[in-house]
Amino acid sequence: MTKAILFILLLLPFLAQSKNKTQKWSPSLIDLRRRQFLQLENNLWKDATSAINNELISPKETPTEVAMMMELEKFGDTLQSDFTDGLNDGLEVLNTIPLYREVESLLRSIYGLYESFRRFQRQQTMPGRIPSPRQAWLDFTEVILNHRNYPITKILDKIGIHVKDGQLFDRILKDLDSNSVCMSKQSPNQLLYNLYNTIALTQIKGYAMIQFAYTLLALYKVGSYATESQLAREKFINRSLEAAEEMKKAMDVASTHFWRCDPERYVKGENYLEITQLLQGYIQNEVDLNPDGTCRENCGYYQYTKSYSCFQNLYCRQQRRCKGKIFNCQYIDSDMWICPSAPSTGRRYSYVEYENGRILGNKGYCPNSRVKVDSWWRWLFWHCSYCMCLCDEEG
């Protein structure tokens, strides 16, 4: 138990997602589950030892191996609830990297065997079911420890070698291209953390099956297996430390920037929204920009106002009225030609050509006929100018 405590104390500093080194470190969820299983493992061995010494079982009690399986099933349920994505935790973009494909194949082997282990659990713990005979249990331990194609201990060793000696996290970080980053919908930093979680989860599942096998063999007095169990524990601790340390080093230099890819084809309402009538240019005469209907100021005076009226149904009658706020008005020229846009475009004007030669927009064919708009004088003293403003209203 001393080594387990030391392991947790050593491991926690490596497992923060933030690169801020002044931040207080806290264990991640996968670390808590690792700690939980180490404690569960101790309890399973205690129960097995008590049963071996005839201290636990009476004829009316649940067989020790079934009771052990119930605890392992509960732990498996917790893992399944916590990590619902399994191997598909946003890592699909790494499939273009050869080293990851090799590691992913190893991870999948353990995942497949663990799913068989889960089915075997349910067969033994289902209410009303008679547990499988002793030989079926022994056969399953043989599959776990000595499978011809997928021996768990060797698979975990290979994963550990790729993580440490093969510098898995560092290699993946270097091989990531911009397309992979934006397709993943997560930053390289988060991608590495998710990969670490997947590897750590696989290590826990593999280790849980190994310890179950050793505990059961000891319970059935096939051998003590205490030494093998301790060696497996030490390997598990070392692998976990190495994976955490390699992940931490890579995350320290991995970008936290998040990029989104441009879609291959833009479809309105699906992968983009069109914002219309946002701060549109709007032409209105000064006489309509104040509540008194006067022309005593100039266009620059109207920096925040609204459309109060439509004087004598002039040009204001021929265009859609601004129902929101009008601001940043300016005088460009007194007279102009306006080419109104079709309503379906969401625009007010295709272009505006002033008599002084200035053109706003792209002058071209005007499908809706140009409209001549002229400012005028009132009583020879006041010039009622047409102003170019901005209209802010709901689209």
> Total domain count for the chain?
2
Residue 272 confidence (pLDDT): 87
Residue 237 confidence (pLDDT): 95
pTM over 0.75: no
The candidate with the shortest Cα–Cα distance to 36, out of 194, 201, 179, 264, is 201
Domain assignment present for residue 26? The answer is yes
Same structural domain, 53 and 108 = yes
**DSSP helix/strand/coil, 42:** helix
Same structural domain, 248 and 329 = no
Same structural domain, 129 and 231 = yes
Same structural domain, 143 and 29 = yes
Average of pLDDT values for 313-330?
Answer: 94
In angstroms, rounded to a whole number, what is the distance separating the alpha carbons of residues 387 and 391? Answer: 12
Domain assignment present for residue 275? The answer is no
- The better pLDDT of the pair 392, 178 is held by 392
Same structural domain, 132 and 193 = yes
Q: What is the DSSP letter of 282?
A: E
pLDDT tens-digit profile of 53-103? 875 544 446 789 999 999 999 999 999 999 987 777 778 888 888 999 999
What one-letter code names the amino acid at 392? D
**DSSP helix/strand/coil, 152:** helix
The candidate with the shortest Cα–Cα distance to 204, out of 117, 307, 309, 311, is 117
Residue 25 confidence (pLDDT): 53
Instruction: Decide: 85 and 130 in contact? Cβ < 8 Å.
Output: no
Same structural domain, 240 and 316 = no
Residue 176 confidence (pLDDT): 80
pLDDT tens-digit profile of 124-139? 999 888 889 999 999 9
Residue 16 confidence (pLDDT): 40
Domain assignment present for residue 259? The answer is no
Residue 61 confidence (pLDDT): 67
Which of 156-160, 177-181, 311-315 is the least confident region? Answer: 177-181
Instruction: Decide: 287 and 294 in contact? Cβ < 8 Å.
Output: yes
Same structural domain, 220 and 291 = no
Instruction: Decide: 361 and 373 in contact? Cβ < 8 Å.
Output: no
Domain assignment present for residue 274? The answer is no
Residue 59 confidence (pLDDT): 47
Domain assignment present for residue 332? The answer is yes
pLDDT at 24 over 70: no
Domain assignment present for residue 367? The answer is yes
- Spell out the residues 6+ positions from residue 211 whose beta carbon is closer than 8 angstroms to its own: 41, 44, 229, 232, 233
What stretches of 147-225 show up as alpha helix (H) in DSSP? 152-164, 168-175, 178-184, 188-219
Same structural domain, 90 and 150 = yes
Given 253, 270, 288, the domain boundary residue is 253
Residue 58 confidence (pLDDT): 46
pLDDT at 390 over 90: yes
Residue 13 confidence (pLDDT): 44
Q: What percent of the chain has pLDDT over 70?
A: 91
Residue 88 confidence (pLDDT): 72
Residue 372 confidence (pLDDT): 96
Maximal CA-CA distance, the chain: 117
Domain assignment present for residue 268? The answer is no
Domain assignment present for residue 265? The answer is no
Same structural domain, 247 and 285 = no
Start-to-end C-alpha separation, the chain? 66
The pLDDT mean for the chain works out to: 87
Given 235, 253, 271, the domain boundary residue is 253
Same structural domain, 85 and 8 = yes
Residue 395 confidence (pLDDT): 64
Residue 182 confidence (pLDDT): 75
Residue 348: domain span: 280-392
Same structural domain, 111 and 50 = yes
Same structural domain, 244 and 366 = no
Distances (CA, A) of 370 to 283, 296, 353, 383: 14, 29, 10, 24
Tokens of 84: 């619902």
- Spell out the residues 6+ positions from residue 175 whose beta carbon is closer than 8 angstroms to its own: 97, 99
